[in-house]
Chains A and B, each alone.
Chain A
Amino acid sequence: MPSKRESTKIIGGVFSLLVYFTFPYILDYPGITYSDYTSMLLCSIFIFLYIHALKNQKIIFILLGLLFFFSIKTKEMGLCLAVFLFDKKLYANPFKIKSVIRFALFFLSGIVIGILLLALNDHFLLNDFLFSFRISNWQTLFSFNLRQRELYDLIDLFGTLVRSGILYLLLFTIYIFDKLKKLGKFDPSLQFLWAYILVVFAFHLMTSVSGSLIIVIRYFVILAPALAILCAHIVSLVEDAIEKKTLLKLLLYLVVCFAVGSCLSFAASRLGWETDQFLERIFLPMLMLLSLFFFFHEKTWTRSMQAGLLGLMLLCLLPSKLIALHHRDIEHAFERRIHPLMENMDALAYTPQMELFISSNIYDSYEILGRDQESNIWMYALLFRQDVDPDQFSYDEFLYENFIKGAFTSAFLSNNDWDFLGEEQQDAIGKAYSIRETNEYVFLSVE
């Protein structure tokens, strides 16, 4: 933060966290094991090291190499981090080829350490030290990732950026850059953060052109740390305005934001609208337009107003995200999927003779359990910490004739399957299995 004042740095840090936590997908899907989150973690550590790096720090170059490699091995977009290596601030003599090559070698040694660490993991966990090196494996990967898709499948990059509000944050950073330059507070390393964001977009565009990737908002979470850092610089632009009685002014501002938020909720409820949708579709675009309108005004008060508007937008977004977090929607969604297995854990304990049948109608009717044989196996494996032979799991449409011929030790049928059976057929099954009926499924197990 280009400021000597401690309060500016602290408020800037808090503001950056506010941007970060209101960024799409950060609080909306906590705990989901998207590789994008791991990728974001690695990118943010990389950026953290880059910002703190001094000239010619060997260890930093090694660590950057390591993180760069791990990022690529998490998600392809890790490649975009390479843009930071072009910053002169990392090199004491950026125009001396020998010096640059020397530090490039340190960076490469970091990559080599990463390759070795992963190869060791491959050796101990996959029993194949050369798993990552085999050309045949890479061919499989490319044939999977670079397959051509229909143009219809390629969700538009621009639309995604507009809808998620990321485009506005990008424009806001341009505004900040302009003002920082005018006030002589501009740090060149910010340019590389900006370049990194552009390279990520370019990467997405390239993959779209080749027809290999569908773009979703989730892919942009790796930009959250960079955008949070850049947007927080607005605080250093308005520090003069809040020089005196900083705490009081901040408190007043928070009270105003809270009052606006309450008024919005009240207005939305009176109109019979959902507050979140009202915010996202009407109120926030209005604030964004207002902010864009004042982009080229040079007066000091517009800077304070811009900071206030961005803060208001973020503070309006935060409550609904915190409420979603508090309701633990994601956890409940998965618990709902897996609950038939959890409710019958005793009868489903693993034995080599276990043969489990799952009717496809359960997922089709209630969206519980897996949607194919594999996902059912994975759910079972995660719940019981037991890998199973795929042959032990049958996932199919329920047909009485086939089912009665099979030698299953347990089965999940949907209520529809069960109700469709005649009384005699139900009795026949009842003789072979113990039956447990619920509102959604019927669980059968050999006594």
Chain B
Amino acid sequence: MSKTKKRVLILILFILFLSFFLIPIILPSINKAKILLMQTILGFFTLSVVLLLMKSMLPEKQSLLVVVGLIGCLVILARLLVYYAGGPVTWDELYYMYLSLFPKQESSLLNRYFHIYLQRFSFYSPTGIHSQGQGYTGLSAFLLQPDSHSTAPIH
């Protein structure tokens, strides 16, 4: 990549990075969902530019590229999807969540315990369950998302 292209990319990166934080200030009237959506799109463009720059500056660090791509995607998508997190819809899911919070020996669910323990982390995360009864499904969005991040860099 030529020096000029690199400079242009750095400039684009700067503008994208700046706009990411400026959106809520420039557009105070739009709702949180739209701000998050715009920030996510900008976030993906920013990440793409970062990866392109990394690829040109550190051509031998392929693993680092994959790791940055994975973590970047995870953070960007998780931030958006935690906002859109739903909740349990059936008896089973409610029970899994209850067992995650208040673990009990339940032999009929013996082969589900990794899921139950993993879910437990979500209750103690900043986006996890809180006393208002909302957002306790927050981190389940994390459970859903990382695979999309692992799917992307595979290609």
Chain A residues in contact with chain B, CB under 8 A?
1, 9-10, 12-13, 16-17, 20-21, 26, 29-35, 37-41, 43-45, 47-48, 51-52, 70, 72-76, 118, 121-122, 125-126, 128, 131-132, 136-138, 140-141, 144-145, 224-225, 228-229, 232, 325-326, 328-331, 333-335, 338, 341-342, 345, 370-371, 374-375, 377-379, 381-385, 387
Contact = CB atoms under 8 A, between A and B. Distances in A.
Given A16-B154, A126-B104, A30 B144 contact: yes
B98 A30 contact: no
Contacts of B108: 140-141, 144-145
25 contacts: A13-B151, A13-B153, A21-B148, A30-B141, A31-B86, A31-B140, A38-B114, A38-B115, A44-B147, A52-B66, A75-B111, A118-B113, A118-B114, A132-B110, A132-B113, A137-B105, A144-B108, A145-B108, A330-B86, A334-B86, A334-B88, A345-B133, A382-B98, A383-B133, A384-B131
A125 to B, nearest CB: 4
Nearest to B94: A378
A224 B95 CA distance: 26
Given A330-B87, A384-B131, A141 B152 contact: no
B88 A33 contact: yes
A21 B84 CA distance: 15
Interface string B94-110: 11111001111101111
Nearest to B81: A30
Contacts of B105: 126, 128, 131, 137
Contacts of B144: 26, 30-31, 37, 40-41
Given A48-B150, A229-B151, A334-B88, A33 B141 contact: no
Given A13-B155, A74-B111, 10 more contacts: A30-B141, A33-B143, A44-B151, A48-B151, A73-B113, A74-B118, A118-B114, A140-B107, A141-B107, A382-B136
A112 B90 CA distance: 33
A271 to B, nearest CB: 31
The 5 closest A-B pairs by CB, nearest first: A330-B86, A334-B87, A31-B85, A31-B86, A44-B147
Contacts of A331: 84-87, 134, 137
- Residue of A12, A33, A52, A141 with most chain B CB atoms under a 10 A cut-off: A33
Nearest to A114: B114
Contacts of B48: 10
Contacts of B95: 374-375, 378
A72 B111 contact: yes
B92 to A, nearest CB: 8
Nearest to A28: B86
B101 A30 contact: no
B119 interface: yes
What's the interface size class on B, roughly? 35 or more
A32 B131 contact: no
A327 B97 CA distance: 23
B151 A20 contact: yes
Interface of A is mostly: helix
Nearest to A48: B150
B87 A9 contact: no
Contact of B110 (A141, A229, A334): A141
A382 B132 CA distance: 10
Contacts of B98: 377-378, 381-382
Given A118-B117, A385-B129, A17 B111 contact: no
B21 interface: no
Interface in B16-52: 33, 48
A196 B151 CA distance: 16
A138 B110 CA distance: 7
A45 B150 contact: yes
Contacts of A387: 101-102
A325 B84 contact: yes
Given A141-B108, A382-B133, A31 B84 contact: yes
Contact of B87 (A17, A51, A333, A377): A333
B112 interface: yes
A31 B87 contact: yes
B8 interface: no
Contacts of B111: 72-76, 141
Contact of A48 (B109, B110, B133, B154): B154
Contacts of B137: 31-33, 331, 334
Given A30-B81, A33-B97, A38-B143, A17 B151 contact: yes
A377 to B, nearest CB: 8
